[in-house]
A and B are shown apart, each in its own frame.
Chain A
């Protein structure tokens, strides 16, 4: 090999030419992209951060990456959805911090769309774009009360509620009222449990329903959308009632540490009755984690339930693409996937939902109370911890 024909130099030259070509091509692409007609064919990427990081029970698919995004990208080949980061808990707080920091630095948000559980706080800080049916036509079909709950900065795309699961092997007639349930728990020591309210919505729903019994009606609206610590003085009776159940809970007062543990104990027969998420429990039943003898019922006053929301963050570079995804999530195709894989209630009002979906949830649909606002929920978690479990 002669000194003038070093393979390295050839490689470098090749790379330089490729880079130049790429730059030229990119410039050409940009020039075309500025005209409105070409924008439809331009590939855009929207980023999404999600709390749904567990595979759908019985499959190895993640809800976004495995189900919704492939279907969406098939319908909209010019939009790519990229999932970034995400997981609940501490990283939620990190997401919040990054969003606020980006806004203060006048930069684009770290992600375009999120379904994180910190969403209500983000809405409270007005970090989301106002959403309406003028940009997202299918939002007409969504219950306006649900949209206004988060300052119109969030769009419900699926729903679920906390229901009472009971194993018909041991329980033939489930209680129909909350007070009936409480006397059942006292009459069957060790056969009921719920996950501590900070570890999952199903336990939280039960705690909220019990405490809610003694909250004056006039405070109901404040609990749902506002925050005023003085309201909390009426919680004590409910918390005392929960504390009085302590000895009758599974293993003398062992509260489980996530929604899934509740399902496991129901599944292996250790407990006979428990509050569960309608979607998670139905999925567990479909995959065989819960035996077919486990049935679901609702009690009065009902356990809470509510929608899972999507938010488009302020300052998103391509809001049109984000709106397209949100609109698609309410389409019959997407809603059928929600019902099939997540056992979720529709994000739209029931009358707009596909007939197959309406049929599937006949009986338990719409029979739920709303969850409290994020700040009250946080306080309830803290108060439960110091009042209920026996030290």
Chain B
């Protein structure tokens, strides 16, 4: 976009603003209409997060009084706010393991998912024929199986007395390799449940790359690797980042898959915080863990917002 074009766009926009400013009631109405979703988000999302944050910092008054009434082992700030609750949480035996397992399961499952989704999407983009038709239907199946049922099915398949064990025994492999009730199994479960979304995102991005572009690259002598790295990957950066941030955020706070498929210890934070809340009567500890997950997810969403903005700028540049 040239500077003159940009100036023109700005003038048009400014003109629009002037018309609005000419009719104050309409402008106020538009402002109010715009504020409505913001207000809803502030009241139903922002306020609970704020209250929760205050509670984890030792503020047990006001709306936190009810939850504080049944809580055991909570830290109450004598005055102001305190980080003692978090200090005690980190000192709890086993919590370090929980934190670590949450981190590596999230990273590993997201990396495997991205790699698998790219391979599948490339296959769907460039192959033809009957196998492709089967694959293109098959990968969507996990989307239509509720997570609870899928987790339960996978874990029964992996049980010591299950079908996988029978297969492994037939080729002389022992039970030690069974993924049931291990953190490795949780990684597999998360990849399995997130695969359709990832392939749909990346696959549709790849389908949108015109054949002409790829052929042009080939014409100037680009090998498949070069086409992938210089054409396909750059054009699909946004869908890949969407997949990365959405699945990493989801995995970070996941509950059903690690609860049903994971080991008793260490637990992912989603499971640990539910136990703390329901079974140990420790809502403050549960909410502190939730705040940690929230902060990590906020970091990831920053990545997403930045990528989105860059993409918008790039699109604007193209015009």
Contacts and interface: CB of A to CB of B under 8 A. Distances in A.
A89 B280 CA distance: 11
B161 A268 contact: yes
B265 A251 contact: no
B161 A270 contact: yes
B211 interface: no
A259 interface: no
A196 B278 CA distance: 14
B72 interface: yes
Interface in A252-306: 253-255, 257, 268-270
A106 to B, nearest CB: 16
A175 interface: no
B70 interface: yes
Q: Which of under 10, 10 to 19, 20 to 34, or 35 or more describes the interface residues of A?
A: 20 to 34
B260 interface: yes
Interface in B48-93: 66-67, 69-70, 72-73, 92-93
A251 B282 CA distance: 30
Nearest to B265: A389
Contacts of B66: 96-97, 100-101
A233 interface: no
Interface in B85-117: 92-94, 97
Contacts of B92: 386
Contact of A257 (B73, B160, B260): B260
Nearest to B156: A264
A387 B265 CA distance: 10
Interface stretch (A67-75, A133-141, A165-173, A375-383): A375-383
A100 B66 CA distance: 7
Contact of B93 (A92, A251, A387): A387
Q: Main secondary structure on chain B at its contact with chain A?
A: loop
A389 B260 CA distance: 16
Interface in B189-246: none
Nearest to A90: B278
B161 A382 contact: no
B94 A386 contact: yes
A42 to B, nearest CB: 35
A269 B160 CA distance: 11
Interface string A362-391: 000000000000110011011001110111
B264 A389 contact: yes
B281 interface: yes
A381 B280 contact: yes
B84 to A, nearest CB: 17
Contacts of B280: 198, 378-379, 381-382, 385
A385 B175 CA distance: 25
Contact of A198 (B159, B160, B279): B279
A121 interface: yes
B72 A379 contact: yes
B70 A121 contact: yes
B301 interface: no
B278 A93 contact: yes
Contacts of A90: 274, 277-278
Interface string A69-100: 00000000000000000000110110011001
B278 A89 contact: yes
B279 A381 contact: yes
Question: Which of B160, B175, B180 has most chain A Cβ within 10 Å?
Answer: B160
28 contacts: A92-B278, A93-B278, A96-B70, A97-B67, A100-B66, A198-B275, A198-B278, A198-B279, A251-B160, A251-B181, A254-B263, A255-B264, A257-B259, A257-B260, A268-B161, A269-B161, A270-B160, A374-B281, A378-B279, A378-B281, A381-B280, A382-B280, A385-B264, A385-B267, A385-B275, A390-B265, A391-B97, A391-B266
Interface of B: 66-67, 69-70, 72-73, 92-94, 97, 159-161, 175, 180-181, 259-260, 263-267, 274-283
Given A125-B69, A270-B161, A382-B279, 10 more contacts: A90-B277, A93-B70, A199-B279, A251-B175, A251-B181, A254-B264, A268-B161, A375-B72, A382-B276, A389-B264
